Chains A and B, each alone.
Chain A
Amino acid sequence: SAVISQKPSRDICQRGTSLTIQCQVDSQVTMMFWYRQQPGQSLTLIATANQGSEATYESGFVIDKFPISRPNLTFSTLTVSNMSPEDSSIYLCSVEVDRYYEQYFGPGTRLTVT
């Protein structure tokens, strides 16, 4: 497994601003993922972040809105840009450990946009 931390744990932001969420893991991992979980819903994958390459975004998510950085094998950031109330959600990072596609999740960032 892996120990994953996220900052901030929660935030309340104003419409039109941006928030950067940090994800730190205690070991080197190749694959990191960013998900969104809206209230009462399951997980939706935003993008895959591999070190040394551009993030790969899922349908419906674009780099201008959700820029991602992956500067090394233990760290990644997700920025939620030009926020609107519809962006209010829990944002989760996860890492793929070893083989067979096992993923472990960070504690999440609860974002409220007013």
Chain B
Amino acid sequence: QKEVEQNSGPLSVPEGAIASLNCTYSDRGSQSFFWYRQYSGKSPELIMSIYSNGDKEDGRFTAQLNKASQYVSLLIRDSQPSDSATYLCAVSSSNTGKLIFGQGTTLQVKP
């Protein structure tokens, strides 16, 4: 069973701090990695995609991928209360291309 694992949290950080969310995966052949943000009562929103080792930055968000260690992380700089949400890590299956989702990490940013 190919899996994606995340710490469910909640992860609580003060406003202005860096939030670090982590995800590990078991499928060594996975090629595509995604972070989705899901506000309570809303559908998942794609915020970051990463396909190669290293860092990818987009505004306050940085995704980091390490295929050798099979982990992907999301850093949120200058965290805002509006960043409070559940963050879902998703990894494409090497067999089917379908996305496998982690359980999600709940982030709370306190003013």
Give me the interface of A with B, judged by CB distance under 8 Å.
1, 33, 41-43, 45, 48, 90, 92, 100-108
The A/B interface has a contact count, at CB < 8 Å, of 47
Given A43-B44, A107-B42, do A101 and B99 touch, yes or no (CB 8 Å)?
Answer: yes
What are the residues of chain B within 8 A of A1 when measuring CB–CB?
A: 46
Contact across chains for B98 and A48 when beta carbons are under 8 A apart:
yes
- Which residues of the partner chain A approach B46 to less than 8 Å between Cβ atoms? 1, 102-105
Q: How far is the CA of A108 from the CA of B40 in the complex (A)?
A: 12
Closest to B6 in A: A42
Interface residue? B62 (CB, 8 A): no
Interface membership of B103, Cβ < 8 A: yes
CB neighbours (8 Å) of B45 from chain A are 105
Contacts of A105 in B (CB 8 A): 36, 43-46
In the bound complex, residues from chain B placing their C-beta under 8 Å from that of A45 are 98-99
The reply to whether A100 and B42 contact each other, CB–CB distance below 8 Å, is no
- Asked if A108 contacts B43 (CB within 8 A), the reply is yes
